[in-house]
Structure 1
Amino acid sequence: MDHDTLLTFLGVAEKLKCNTRHSWTSSGRHESVAEHVYRLLVFAWLVRDEFPELDMNRVMELALFHDMGEAVTGDIPAFEKTGEDEKTEEEAQEEIARLLPRPRQEEMRDIFREVREKKTPEARLVNAMDKLEALIQHNEADLSTWLPLEYELQLTYGEKETRDIPWMAALRERVNQDSVKKMRTEKLKEDLTGGRL
């Protein structure tokens, strides 16, 4: 790969550091897309022994590039994303793939397609982990950062994606317990102080 192509592609990837997600960090700032991608890779590395039947290197590749289109489009929260937004992101992915020489261009298109179609076990695992990472991040953020709709969403988001992956379904239940505990603790604080915290 020539230097100019490398630097151009890295320049696009840098936008993932700049574009923020709806989620907040435990320190009270918006999370960047790059931070979400990084932790998704850590997540994949940590669970690799739980899925010996899967190609975990492929899982990590899919996780690495699953939100690459957001370097161009920015992040749109799942509860606001439309079919038109998904089409725009797909077009951005094609634009990004075209930056690369062959055969990397086709390789990148294959990654984007596999993530989008969610037909392989590896892509379904990445999709499940993607949802769970967002739930975990919400639990780590201050409850004041949650929108009213997120109280219910926190308990339902990712159910469909984890349902057929027993280990992930069990983890989702554990994350659910943390969500309920967080909400109860906050409600108790409000009750004790009359909402004057």
Structure 2
Amino acid sequence: MNPKELIEFLKILEKLKCNTRHSWTTNKRQESVAEHSWRLAVLAMLMEPDFSDLDMNKVIRMCLIHDWGEAVTGDIPAFIKTENDVAVEEKATGALLEKLPDSLKAPLSSLFEELSLMQSKEARLVKSLDKIETLIQHNEAGTDTWLPLEYELNMTYGNEICDSFPQTKKLRDQVREDSRQLIMEEKRGNGK
């Protein structure tokens, strides 16, 4: 990419810093898509020793790019996202990838396709960690930021995909226990 093209592409991706997610941070502001993607990649990097049989470079790259379409579409929370929303986001991702030179377009398109198909261990790990990072963020923000449906979601969201690996199952179990503790603390604080 020439410098002008690179800057123009980064300008599009900058929207990931601006587009907020349903999640809140500990200082009670909405989290950006970029912040989520960054911490997801860090989570994968920190778990690298637990997954020596996987291509963790690929996993981290998938983490960094998995929400690129949301630079165009914005974030739609998983609990209301429809198949049509997914298709629109995939189309937006495809349009972004078309802006790249072939030397980048081909490998990144391949990563997106692998993520979409969810057939590789790497793709399943990214999906598992994506769900876990979201739940960790919900817990960190506290129950005062949760919608009523999230009390149940924090117990069930991502359970099936997280069972794909013993390591993600164990982490998901801990996050669920952390959620349970938060709910119990809230009940005690409200005198219930």
TM-score by length of 2: 0.98
**Alpha-carbon distance between aligned partners in 2 of 1:151 and 1:108, rounded to the nearest angstrom:** 36
Identity %: 48
The residue number in structure 2 matching 1:127 is 127
Mapping of residues 96-135 of structure 1, within 5 Å: 96-135=96-135
> Match for residue 150 of structure 1?
150
1:43 aligns with 2:25: no
Q: What's the CA shift for 1:108?
A: 1.8
Quick one: which amino acid aligns to residue 166 of structure 2?
A: P
SS state at 2:139 partner:
helix
Please state if 1:59 is matched with 2:59. yes
Q: Which amino acid aligns with 2:86?
A: E
Q: Which runs of 5+ in 1 are unaligned?
A: 193-197
Write the distance in 2 (CA, Å) between the matches of 1:144 and 1:182: 10
Which deviates further from its counterpart, 48-57 or 100-109? 100-109
Q: CA RMSD in A?
A: 0.9
Aligned position for 1:195: none
Matches within 5 A, 1:1-197: 1-191=1-191
Q: CA deviation at 1:13?
A: 1.1
Between the two proteins, the alignment pairs up a number of residues equal to 192
Q: What is the identity, as a one-letter code, of the residue corresponding to 1:86?
A: V
Consecutive unaligned residues in structure 2, runs of 5 or more = none
- The C-alpha deviation readout for 1:58-82, integer Å capped at 9, x for no partner, is 0001101000100000000000000
Q: Secondary structure at the match of 1:31?
A: strand
Any conservation in 2 of the 1:28–1:142 contact (CA below 8 Å)?
A: no
Give runs of ≥4 in structure 1 deviating > 4 Å. none
